[in-house]
Amino acid sequence: MPIAIYEFPLCEKVRNYLRLEQLFKQLDHTSSSINECDSLYFFDVLFTLLDLLERLDVRTDFIRDIDVHEKNLVHWSSHPNIDTSALEGVLKTLHRLLSELKRTNKLGSSLKDDRFLSSIRQRFSIPGGATSFDLPHLFCWLKQSQELRDSDIAMWVQQLSLVRENITLLMQFLREKGRFEEVVGANGFYQGVVTDKIDLIRVRCANSEGYYPILSGNKYRYGIRFMLLAPEQGAMSGVPKEIKFEIACC
């Protein structure tokens, strides 16, 4: 049975982390393609990622979160059953990331100063703007050898490696906080209590039954309602039956 995991952030910081994480996945997919259209999509994703980094102060969030994790791991180091070598490895990674973040003023700023990227970036904000007559130098780049284009793409992606590494590690820490447990939604609805320590709710359920979950709530409670993907004409869009699924509060 196909299974899907839906993730619902409960704070703006985690929303931003999830957006960046998804953009990096898209970046990986498009950067490895030899197709010209996918190469154009690579720039579109890259510029969206840069727009996010320029608008958000993720560097401050990274530093704050890493500092918290570092203190927690130091506390756990005194536990008798802890894997000392694994703990030391993670602590070294956290120390390195923290040091690199403190030496960096603005994440992604080096790409903003890239002459070629700067010359094409504005056109990508215009629908259909990345044409050969608008951007002949981009068209010329697309016709270069695969080796040259791969080299340029690898250079641009590498300059975002610090952001990627932080996102990967922090989302791993966050997801490992919660363990999936089975619950039941009566009439397609389930309600839970929000605590100060919950930043992300993960829902694991069947993906072949024609329904999907949505989340709503406030700072005290949250509700998960399952909706029909293709309800019949004039019928309710909610699922009118008991649903068993798994939930993890992270």
Give me the residue spans of the domains in the chain: 11-174, 179-249
pTM: 0.92
Tokens 């996918």 sit at which residue?
38
pLDDT in tens, 152-206: 999 999 999 999 999 999 999 999 999 999 999 999 999 999 887 899 999 999 9
CATH class of this structure's domain 179-249: mainly beta
Q: What pLDDT, on the 0 to 100 scale, is given for residue 235?
A: 66
Contact by Cβ (8 Å): 5, 203: yes
Q: What pLDDT, on the 0 to 100 scale, is given for residue 233?
A: 73
Tokens 């029909």 sit at which residue?
228
With 90 as the cut, is the pLDDT of residue 81 above it? no
With 90 as the cut, is the pLDDT of residue 101 above it? yes
With 80 as the cut, is the pLDDT of residue 34 above it? no
Q: Which CATH architecture has domain 11-174?
A: Orthogonal Bundle (1.10)
Q: What pLDDT, on the 0 to 100 scale, is given for residue 194?
A: 86
Q: What pLDDT, on the 0 to 100 scale, is given for residue 20?
A: 97
Which one has a higher pLDDT value, 145 or 6? 6
What tokens appear for 178 in the block?
């919660």
Give DSSP secondary structure letters for the chain. --EEEEEEESSHHHHHHHHHHHHHHHHHHHHT---HHHHHHHHHHHHHHHHHHHH--HHHHHHHHHHHHHHHHHHHTT-TTS-HHHHHHHHHHHHHHHHHHHH-SSTTHHHHT-HHHHHHHGGGGSTT---TTT-HHHHHHHTS-HHHHHHHHHHHHHTTHHHHHHHHHHHHHHHHT---EEEEEBTTEEEEE--TT--EEEEEEESSSSEEEEEEE-SSEEEEEEEESSPPTTS-SB--S-EEEEEEE-
Q: What pLDDT, on the 0 to 100 scale, is given for residue 31?
A: 82
State how far the Cα of 219 lies from the Cα of 212, in Å rounded to an integer: 23
With 80 as the cut, is the pLDDT of residue 80 above it? no
Q: What pLDDT, on the 0 to 100 scale, is given for residue 218?
A: 81
Q: What pLDDT, on the 0 to 100 scale, is given for residue 231?
A: 78
Question: Confidence class of residue 234 from pLDDT cuts 50, 70 and 90?
Answer: low
Contact by Cβ (8 Å): 135, 143: no
Share of the chain above pLDDT 90, in %: 66
- Mean residue pLDDT across the chain: 90
**Average pLDDT of 229-233?**
80
Question: Confidence class of residue 85 from pLDDT cuts 50, 70 and 90?
Answer: confident
With 80 as the cut, is the pLDDT of residue 10 above it? yes
Share of the chain above pLDDT 70, in %: 96
**Average pLDDT of 56-70?**
94
